[in-house]
Amino acid sequence: MDREFSGKVALVTGSSRNLGAVIARALAEQGAQVAVHYAKHADDAQRVARQIQASGGGAEVFRADVGDSGEVRRLAAEVLARFGRVDILVNNVGPYADIPFLDLPEDVWDAVLNSNVKASYLLTQALAPGMKQRGWGRIVNLSAVSAFVRVHAIYGLAKAAVIHLTQSLALELAPEIRVNAIAPGQIQESDEIEHIAPGYIAQMTEATPLRRLVTRQEVADAACLLCSDRLPSLTGQTLVLDGGWSLPVGRKTPVLNVSI
């Protein structure tokens, strides 16, 4: 996919740090100009933009709280004003909370759903018309394997909604725009989780059939693949990258290993 996205503009939300930053750099390596978005970490966003620019790519930094509808619309307008177009949208922002529903504050409900789901809908609403008019567009939404379990409360609900939204948008925006999602499992580079819960990463690795956790670079490579022209019939799908963690396991259904 050498420089496959030359001439394209990509907006990656939450791209100042962590997974979003890796996705932004991966798209830039393939030739895309990148709108690097942040909410709080301006210095980190500028660092990502400088890294892209130092490698010969184009990048600009934009700030917005995507939990706020007005700021989401402003973000879309500012990126369009600066670049004139957006061809690739990666909805990466997705704050986590797994507080039990009976204890969940309403403002946390709003923050998680707004940032994970509502922002994706609003950015798509603002940017998809231009993609359709130009006859080419890619939208990648970040879900998570939490969508498939029922112990992550509002986060799981939000990530399940991301999958539903992905499928609905794929139908609505075809044939010009392909919309897909990625559902990573626990990501290997998660120092903040290890700090809060020492040993958690090792436990998740042991519970994963492949005995390895997905990396940020793997997710970024998957995002580039979904944005490429290599899989022209793929739309409305969710690519699960979890080493088999979310698969039904044998202990739930006994295996007879006999012929009857």
Residue 4 lies in a domain: no
Strand order in the sheet with 33-38: 59-63, 33-38, 9-12, 88-91, 137-142, 177-184, 238-241
pLDDT digits 0-9 by tens, 109-166:
999 999 999 999 999 999 999 999 999 999 999 999 999 999 889 999 999 999 999 9
Residue 145 lies in a domain: yes
- At 228, which CATH number? 3.40.50.720
Please say if the pLDDT value at position 258 is more than 70.
Answer: no
Quick one: pLDDT at residue 193? 82
38 is catalytic: no
Q: 137 is in which domain, residue-wise?
A: 9-242
Residue 250 lies in a domain: no
Q: What is the mean pLDDT of residues 48-66?
A: 97
In the chain, the number of structural domains is 1
pLDDT digits 0-9 by tens, 101-110:
999 999 999 9
Q: 22: closest CA among 193, 191, 189?
A: 189
Residue 247 lies in a domain: no
Catalytic residue among 38, 96, 121, 155: 155
Quick one: pLDDT at residue 260? 61
Measured distance CA(113)–CA(103) in Å, rounded: 16
Residue 114 lies in a domain: yes
Measured distance CA(111)–CA(97) in Å, rounded: 10
Residue 72 lies in a domain: yes
Please say if the pLDDT value at position 255 is more than 80.
Answer: no
Angle at 135 between CA 130 and CA 139, to 5 degrees: 65
**Would you give the DSSP letter of residue 103?**
G
Residue 256 lies in a domain: no
Residue 257 lies in a domain: no
Q: 25: closest CA among 68, 56, 70?
A: 56
Phi, psi for 130 (deg, rounded to 5): -65, -40
